Structure 1
């Protein structure tokens, strides 16, 4: 698995997940429950992971739809 996206904005994670699922790419959100450790103030980013084979295609899909993604 490779990291595709890291953000503090849960709406970006939801949008990206739905978009990639629509394209047949399985995603795995990480750090979703970290808010219990941080006190629900949103300082710890959430990550979206995809299979290594799908990473390049997923990057293109997100960029084509206006989501700024840094290559890791």
Structure 2
């Protein structure tokens, strides 16, 4: 698994997960339960992860969507 980004914005995570799903890329959001345990005050970012094989394509989709800088 590789991390695409970290954010405390659950709406952004939902949108990016949906965007990647439309491209056929499965994602996993890590640290959701830890964030809930700390009261969802935004102190612990959640991580958007994909499998290694999908990383380059997923990253390009997020770059085109304006959520990651281009290299």
For the aligned pair, the TM-score class normalised by the smaller chain equals 0.7 to 0.9
Unaligned runs of 5+ in 2: none
Unaligned runs of 5+ in 1: none
Measure how far apart 1:68 and its partner are.
Answer: 2.6
Greater relative CO (CA pairs within 8 A, separation 6+): 1
Between the two proteins, the alignment pairs up a number of residues equal to: 71
RMSD, aligned CA = 1.8
Query: Structure 2-normalised TM-score?
Result: 0.88
Query: Structure 1-normalised TM-score?
Result: 0.87
Cα 1:51–1:67 change in 2 (3 A) is: same
